[in-house]
Chain A
Amino acid sequence: MKKEELLVAALKNGTVIDHIPSELVFKLIDLLGLQNEKSSVTIGYNLESEKIGRKGIIKVADRFFSDEEISRLSVTAPNVVLNIIHDYEVVEKKTVVIPDELHGIVRCPNPKCISNNEPMSSFFHVINKEQRLLKCHYCEKELNV
């Protein structure tokens, strides 16, 4: 058994976020608010991956992410996979689905947009999921991510 498989298998219940581009590991921790996580979190990066060269992995014990939380990853890391672990077994693999709306995830590139000038969250409508085309709810400018 390879070492990283062992890491996955060692989790009794929880979530293993896999296939993270190495440089995005800490960004994902931030997006998911894992700095404040109470249960045990294991972070690995620069692990070898056939798919993406070097990958990162985050294991969180006893924690299952909601669809809303997962959708926060859709701009930064759309290709990560979440393995849901129950009793040491992967019972489900979840992929990231880009939602219809993105709140507080992407910053509007328009410096004259109200969302960059008030204490408020950004808000984008996803107008084309394949082309990853967003439209700012406020200034109506379009953005490709």
Chain B
Amino acid sequence: MHSLVTIADLGKEKILSLLASAARFEAMPNRKTLDGRVVATLFFEPSTRTRLSFETAANRLGARVIGFSDAATSSSSKGESLKDTIMMVSNYADIIVMRHHLEGAARYASEVSPVPIINAGDGANQHPSQTMLDLYSIMKTQGTLDGLDICLVGDLKYGRTVHSLIMAMRHFHPRFHFVAPTELAMPNEYKLYCREHGIDFTEHTEFDETLINAADIIYMTRVQRERFTDLMEYERVKNVYVLRADMLRHTRPNLRILHPLPRVGEIAYDVDDCPQAYYFQQAKNGLFVRQALICDCLEIEG
């Protein structure tokens, strides 16, 4: 049995085998694979979306679910250390899915816990099941992960999902196009990462149809007001990075639009009806990917 803390720990073969497993779960999501097992979901930081996805994954595999949905109802509100909470819960559960506001919490938990830990987000650090569902969505819509043109749009500075996606795609020869306002541009460390791993990328501050029409995947992210030191700049860019249906008239037929959700306005509602919109199915894919991840960490055939 093993934990899943970061996507960086997964090699190419492992990623591909997890995606194949997720596809088998999609074909048949309701099974008794985890009959008699207990899955704990410890959400020290609330995230309804992620928690429901993991709990549904566990339920559809026949497992029982225990846990809490925010720290206020957990013993950590009484000052209990993370270690003590993990040790207590590991007496009851076969695997722990945890989300925590502190960075590195899942790594630490995985080192003290006798049962596997799945990181469902540790602050601004890692959220590997999100990355896996992004990869699954790309694979499913494009038929391959290899050699794709991927536009990453919006907040590329703080958006951990795009950083993890770059790291996970390193095995698959992507061409990235970074589209962000100057204040939220891709940090140097990730551009350096791309250069070190031979990943092609271009950088843009304008989000226009030239880019859209040459893309296989457009990955939109939230541009959040609180990220800006200059509110004038926020007012200027918030509408520049909005995708509307009329921008999708001349795209590649295989183009799909992804977004980690929830959106706050960067994808207009009229896009929802376009064939390129894929963000709702993307979220649904999270279920199958999480079934695959839980079984993999427990080393149970999925």
Contacts and interface: CB of A to CB of B under 8 A. Distances in A.
Interface of A: 110, 112-115, 117-120, 136-142
Contacts of A138: 103-105, 107-108
B81 to A, nearest CB: 6
Interface string B91-106: 0000000001111110
B81 A137 contact: no
Contacts, number: 48
Given A112-B124, A120-B108, A139-B125, 9 more contacts: A113-B103, A114-B82, A114-B108, A115-B108, A118-B108, A119-B83, A120-B83, A138-B103, A138-B108
B103 A139 contact: yes
A110 B100 CA distance: 15
B82 to A, nearest CB: 6
Contacts of B159: none
Contacts of A118: 81-83, 108
A117 B125 contact: no
Contacts of A136: 104
Looking at chain A's contact residues, the main secondary structure is loop
Contacts of B100: 114
A133 to B, nearest CB: 12
A121 to B, nearest CB: 11
Given A112-B101, A112-B123, A114-B102, A137 B83 contact: no
A115 B111 CA distance: 13
B157 to A, nearest CB: 15
Nearest to B109: A114
Contacts of A113: 102-104
Contacts of B103: 110, 112-114, 138-141
